[in-house]
Amino acid sequence: RTVYVNGQYLPETEATVSIFDRGFLMADGVYEVTSVLDGKLIDFAGHLRRLQRSLDELEMKNPLSEDEWLAVHRELVARNGVEEGMVYLQVTRGNPGDRDFAWAADVAPTVVLFTQTKPGLADNPQARTGIRVISVPDIRWGRRDIKTVQLLYPSMGKMMAKKAGVDDAWFTEDGFVTEGTSNNVYIIRGNRIVTRPLSSEILHGITRSAVLRFAAEAQYEVEERAFTVEEAQGADEAFLTSASAFVMPVVELDGAAIGTGKPGPVATRLREIYLDEMRKAAV
Nearer to ligand PLP, 4 or 246 (CB): 246
Tell which one of 92, 207, 233, 268 touches ligand PLP (CB under 6 A): 207
Burial label for 20, CB within 10 Å (0-12, 13-18, 19+), is middle
Q: Binding residues for ligand PLP, how many (CB under 6 A)?
A: 12
Q: Give yes or no for a contact between 187 and 238, defined as CB atoms under 8 angstroms apart.
A: yes
Which segment (67-75, 127-135, 227-235, 236-244) binds ligand PLP by CB under 6 A? 236-244
* Residues in the chain, total: 283
Nearer to ligand PLP, 90 or 207 (CB): 207
| Rounded distance between C-alpha atoms, residue 180 and residue 159, angstroms | 13
Instruction: Give one word for 19, left, alpha or beta, with left for phi > 0 and alpha for psi -120 to 50.
Output: alpha
* Residues 163-182 within binding reach of ligand PLP (CB under 6 A): 179, 182
Under the binding rule (CB under 6 A), the answer on residue 90 touching ligand PLP is no
SS3 assignment, position 153: helix
Contacts of 79 (CB under 8 A, 6+ apart): 2, 9
Tell which one of 73, 93, 196, 208 touches ligand PLP (CB under 6 A): 208
| Rounded distance between C-alpha atoms, residue 107 and residue 61, angstroms | 10
Contacts of 17 (CB under 8 A, 6+ apart): 5, 23, 24, 92, 95, 110, 112
Q: What angle do CA 277, 281, 283 make, to 5 degrees?
A: 145
Under the binding rule (CB under 6 A), the answer on residue 183 touching ligand PLP is yes
Site map 2..41 versus ligand PLP, x via CB under 6 A: ----------------------------------------
To ligand PLP, the closest distance from the beta carbon of 103 in angstroms equals 24
Which segment (61-69, 206-214, 224-232, 272-280) binds ligand PLP by CB under 6 A? 206-214
Nearer to ligand PLP, 100 or 276 (CB): 276
**Catalytic residue set:** 147
Tell which one of 80, 92, 184, 268 touches ligand PLP (CB under 6 A): 184
**Binding site residues, ligand PLP, CB under 6 A:** 179, 182-184, 203, 205-208, 241-243
